[in-house]
Amino acid sequence: MAISKANRLSLVEQVVSQIETLIESGEWEIGNQIPPEMDLIKHFDVSRNTLREAIRSLVYAGLLVTKQGKGTFVKSTSSLGVAFQRRIQRSSLFETLEVRHALEREGAQLAALRRDQEDIKKLRFHITACRIAAEEKDIKAYEQSDIQLHKSIMGSSHNALLIDLYEHMEDSLHESIHQIVRMSSEANFHLSIHCTLVEAIIERDVKRATEAVNEYIAQFKKSLK
């Protein structure tokens, strides 16, 4: 069997790899503008053409986005995330809800097993924010608080891959929560079952946490039908 000699990474590939590491590590955060071109040329010790080719490659992959007259910004933490988001955009709300169900059920179960005191503080903070927004009938504030609550639950799972996958579903999460809140007859149920979920996680009650997720997803599926 013929074995090909391994090729060394080109300068462009090396720069791409280093930028991907900066993004994935969080040093370059999503939404932030990347450093000026001359700073990057000095940092990577490459020519302008090499840097620009690397940037174009990352823009094409979806990790960066160039805004006319403004500059280049971080768009996603990974090319996998970009592909995942594009796939979600081609899916129905019902399909994304089924995937949400699988992720949130697993997240709730792990959270009930692994949550620590810092997690409990965050969960209580966000469920209180949801309750206050509901009492004040502030729909926008409720949606934002509810999204942060869900992300805190996933964060309490302490599973980095699960958290990352869920992060890429944020747009669909916004849409589904928005639809629930618009159904005023179900808004109170939505808050009540989320209070139950938070209590179950804090009490390390895996079964009740799972049942809470199953219950609110089932109710939302019923509404969509």
More confident residue, 19 or 82: 19
Q: Which CATH architecture has domain 90-224?
A: Up-down Bundle (1.20)
Instruction: Give CA–CA dist 4/65, Å, rounded.
Output: 36
Which pLDDT belongs to residue 4?
41
In the CATH scheme, what is the code of domain 11-77?
1.10.10.10
Mean pLDDT comparison of 43-47, 72-76, 162-166, highest-scoring range: 43-47
pLDDT digits (tens, 9 = 90+) for 23-66: 888 899 888 999 999 999 999 999 999 999 999 989 888 889 99
Q: How far is Cα 62 from Cα 74, in angstroms, rounded to an integer?
A: 9
All CATH 1.10.10.10 domain ranges in the chain, comma separated: 11-77
Helices (H) and strands (E) in the chain, counts: 11, 2
User: Phi/psi class of residue 176: alpha, beta or left (left: φ > 0; alpha: ψ in -120 to 50)?
Assistant: alpha
Q: How confident is the model at residue 3 (pLDDT cuts 50, 70, 90)?
A: very low
Q: Tens digit of pLDDT for each residue in 84-136?
A: 666 666 667 778 788 889 999 999 999 999 999 999 999 999 999 999 998 88
